[in-house]
Amino acid sequence: MLEVNELNQYYGGSHILRGLSFEARIGEVTCLLGRNGVGKTTLLKCLMGLLPARSGTIRWQGEGIGQRKPHQRVQAGIAYVPQGRDIFPRLTVEENLLMGLARFPGKQAKAVPEEIYHLFPVLWEMRQRRGGDLSGGQQQQLAIGRALACRPQLLILDEPTEGIQPSVIKEIGQVIRTLAARGDMAILLVEQFYDFAAGLADSYLVMSRGCIVQRGRGDQMEADGVRGLVAI
């Protein structure tokens, strides 16, 4: 389980994250919703060690990871798919996926796990194409596949539906459902697309001005008025 307690972060004199506390449990999809500029991506960068939190604690599987570097958090079983995907455009699809195996010793890092191609058949079909030649939706699938290649126990997704065609959004949603149903992974999904989040969430968090202003069970999102809280 991921446990975040009283997390604070600043940019200059601006208080960006204001005492955030929440949990993300193995076997569940935890959806974090909020409008642009409320601090969602800043939070994820703190979770991955890309930004140092000013104060507060981050615990994963019962251990504090606040002082660990990003690669050490990956070694601990945490994978992050950032907004914008950040694939390697000049590498092939297969080479991009192999990059996700970097945390394993040599013999285990030589072949893409078959499960990745099973989850995303288009990646098998295009495995020799350069990443930069793929469509936006295919690049998003590649970014998620690369993250899954490291066999994480916590998968963090930052707005995976942004700029993606509806057919691929549906495919990504099905993959997230499949992963959650296995029961061996916690998924933290940051999203603005309400309907996508509501269809996947076991629990939800709503963020505004750096704070968690509402939380609850996924099946209560409509009754709780979450749509109105995140509508643009």
Q: Which domains does the chain have, with CATH numbers?
A: 1-77+153-168+186-232 (3.40.50.300), 88-151 (no CATH)
For residue 96, how far is the Cα from the chain centroid? 18
Q: Please report how many Cα atoms fall inside a 13 Å half-sphere around the Cα of residue 174, on the Cβ side.
A: 10
pTM for this structure? 0.93
Through-space distance between the first and last CA atoms of the chain, rounded to whole angstroms? 32
Task: Please say if the pLDDT value at position 186 is more than 80.
Answer: yes
Q: Are 197 and 217 in contact (CB under 8 A)?
A: no
Q: Look at residue 101 in the predicted model and tell me its pLDDT.
A: 84
For the segment 109-150, what is each residue's pLDDT rounded down to a tens digit? 778 889 999 999 999 999 999 999 999 999 999 999 999 998
For the segment 23-63, what is each residue's pLDDT rounded down to a tens digit? 999 999 999 999 888 889 999 999 999 988 889 999 999 99
Task: Tell me how long the chain is.
Answer: 232
Categorize the per-residue pLDDT at 232 as very low, low, confident or very high, splitting at 50, 70 and 90.
Answer: low
CA distance 73 to 201: 24
Q: Look at residue 38 in the predicted model and tell me its pLDDT.
A: 87
For residue 10, how far is the Cα from the chain centroid? 22
209 conformational bin, left if phi > 0, alpha if psi -120 to 50, beta if neither: left
Question: For residue 194, what are the contacts with CB-CB under 8 A and spacing of at least 6?
Answer: 33, 221, 226, 227, 230, 231
